[in-house]
């Protein structure tokens, strides 16, 4: 049989012909969840998805395909286990290969898996390959759990030595008395701390940052150019924000473009691969009626009862009532989240003492403005409504790597994990119970 390339279907002979279609595999992008190449250590951490991609591990976890000889031995051992229940005594070298591959697969998602995630990977391993079960443990995967935990620690050290940005940042201090907070993605960011763009060093990016400042000071800003420079300097900005933990005022001075609505939305997308305003409002609307029904069951709470009396049939009004009522419903301090002031009040004076929140400016019964407050200062104003202001607040908390205030931890967790469905698989037990109640009401 002679093979040939076919450019047109009409070129096929009328009599019997064999057609072989060869599909060209597409290059996976940086968000692909395939495992790392187990044959070699990445020469640069920037080639590894774990440097910039931080995501929840899928459940169940997809156990990778091991080396060909390892797969053959596992297949034979699984057949023996199926026949008589004999477990496989894994040789030391083979066990090391298995753990290496599992660690690489985990690092595609996160360099800092939780204890539950490590448990889930160990469980998935023995479910796929039952011959690997521990004969002496209840569930059959305890020894794999502990081995995997230590392997991940060793793998982190390897990547740290290779120059992985996030892991290098968390290098242990030589001082035994100096404690250091682990700097890692806490809000399910997927692009938390990337390496610098190929071909650019820190000096190049610093020069671009200076050009950015000049551009945003112009009367007519070239937003296309600003978008491009903000995108290329993203790694420098993240390094400064995550490593140095600067005050918001300092970030405003060095990165003024970051405090425009347009750039807040783009920065949020760089961090999470999601659209800020769209995802927030869509989630708000999804649970709108269910939340308001729950509010009515708690009408004895003074703050909620007064808000419910202001309800009408408009979606806009319902959104406002939900956002204003959420801290009341969750038994948190609503005054730490939003404050309503008159148009004659001085915003900056009212913002004093407010760590994180939104000011709503009214003229009698008329809405005038909404402003975002961070670290006791107004950082963004002239927002058209409260839902937009809260969405921008969420975007800034992500962009500036600011932790949620403790007195509003459930309010912000609901907005992130329920409304926006970011990291929804890792809710606190309180928020998980609330979300289940909401979902049951939607059924």
In a domain? residue 125: yes
Regarding whether 418 and 282 lie in a shared domain, the answer is yes
| Three-class DSSP category at 33 | coil
Regarding whether 307 and 428 lie in a shared domain, the answer is yes
Regarding whether 83 and 213 lie in a shared domain, the answer is no
Q: Would you state the pLDDT for residue 246? A: 94
Distance (Å, rounded) from C-alpha 392 to C-alpha 107? 31
Residues β-bridged to residue 380:
372
Q: Would you state the pLDDT for residue 358? A: 96
Helix (H) or strand (E) holding 203: helix 202-216
The pTM of this model reads 0.69
Distance (Å, rounded) from C-alpha 272 to C-alpha 189? 5
Q: Which residues of the chain have pLDDT under 70?
A: 1-55, 168-182, 443
* 321 touches 308 (CB < 8 A): yes
Indicate the number of domains in the chain.
3
Q: Would you state the pLDDT for residue 43? A: 36
DSSP code per residue over 109-144: T-SS--HHHHHHHHHHHHHH-GGG--TTSSSS-HHH
In a domain? residue 196: no
| Three-class DSSP category at 338 | strand
In a domain? residue 9: no
Q: Would you state the pLDDT for residue 42? A: 36
Helix (H) or strand (E) holding 249: helix 248-254
Q: Would you state the pLDDT for residue 184? A: 76
Regarding whether 223 and 101 lie in a shared domain, the answer is no
Neighbours of 218 (CB within 10 A): 9
In a domain? residue 410: yes
In a domain? residue 187: no
Q: How far is CA 56 from the centre of its chain?
A: 8
Regarding whether 252 and 285 lie in a shared domain, the answer is no
Regarding whether 285 and 235 lie in a shared domain, the answer is no
Task: Provide the residue range defining the domain that includes 362.
Answer: 276-442
Q: Would you state the pLDDT for residue 134? A: 86
Of 218, 276, 288, which is closest to residue 395 (Cα–Cα)?
276
Regarding whether 241 and 356 lie in a shared domain, the answer is no
Regarding whether 423 and 299 lie in a shared domain, the answer is yes
Neighbours of 286 (CB within 10 A): 15
Q: Would you state the pLDDT for residue 28? A: 36
Q: Would you state the pLDDT for residue 38? A: 34
Q: Would you state the pLDDT for residue 75? A: 94
Q: What is the DSSP letter of 243?
A: I
In a domain? residue 181: no
């Amino acid at each position: 049989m002679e093979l040939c390339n076919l450019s047109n279907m009409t070129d096929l002979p009328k009599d019997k012909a064999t057609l072989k279609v060869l599909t060209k595999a597409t290059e996976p992008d940086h968000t692909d969840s395939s495992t790392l190449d187990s044959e070699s250590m990445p020469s640069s951490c920037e080639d590894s998805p774990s440097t910039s991609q931080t995501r929840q591990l899928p459940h169940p976890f997809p156990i990778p395909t091991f080396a060909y000889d390892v797969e053959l031995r596992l297949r034979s051992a699984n057949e023996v286990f199926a026949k008589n229940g004999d477990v496989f005594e894994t040789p030391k070298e083979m066990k090391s290969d298995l753990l290496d591959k599992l660690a690489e697969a985990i690092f595609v998602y996160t360099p800092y898996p939780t204890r539950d995630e490590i448990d889930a990977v160990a469980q998935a391993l023995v479910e796929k390959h039952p011959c690997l079960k521990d004969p002496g443990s209840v569930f059959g995967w305890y020894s794999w759990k502990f081995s995997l935990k230590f392997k991940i620690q060793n793998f982190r050290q390897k990547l740290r030595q290779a120059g992985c940005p996030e892991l290098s940042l968390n290098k242990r201090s030589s001082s035994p008395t100096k404690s250091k907070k682990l700097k890692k993605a806490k809000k399910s960011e997927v692009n938390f701390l990337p390496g610098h763009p190929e071909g650019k060093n820190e000096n190049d990016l610093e020069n671009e940052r200076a050009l950015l400042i000049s551009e945003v000071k112009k009367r007519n800003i070239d937003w296309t150019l600003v978008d491009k420079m903000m995108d290329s300097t993203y790694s420098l900005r993240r390094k400064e924000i995550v490593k140095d933990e600067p005050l918001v005022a300092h970030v405003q001075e060095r990165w003024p473009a970051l405090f425009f609505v347009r750039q807040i939305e783009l920065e949020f997308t760089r961090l999470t691969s999601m659209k800020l305003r769209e995802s927030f409002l869509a989630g708000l609307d999804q649970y709108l009626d269910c939340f308001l029904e729950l509010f009515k069951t708690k009408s004895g709470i003074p703050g909620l009862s007064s808000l419910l009396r202001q309800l009408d049939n408009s979606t806009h009004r319902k959104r406002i009532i939900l956002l204003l009522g959420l801290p009341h419903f969750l038994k948190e301090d609503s005054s730490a989240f939003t404050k309503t002031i008159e148009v004659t009040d001085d915003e900056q004076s009212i913002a004093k003492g407010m760590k994180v929140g939104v000011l709503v400016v009214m003229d009698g019964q008329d809405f005038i403005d909404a402003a975002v407050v961070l670290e006791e200062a107004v950082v963004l104003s002239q927002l058209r409504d409260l839902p937009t202001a809260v969405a921008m607040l969420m975007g800034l908390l992500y962009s500036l790597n600011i932790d949620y205030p403790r007195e509003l931890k459930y309010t912000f967790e609901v907005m992130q994990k329920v409304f926006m469905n970011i990291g929804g698989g890792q809710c606190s037990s309180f928020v998980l119970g609330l979300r289940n109640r909401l979902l049951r009401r939607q059924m």
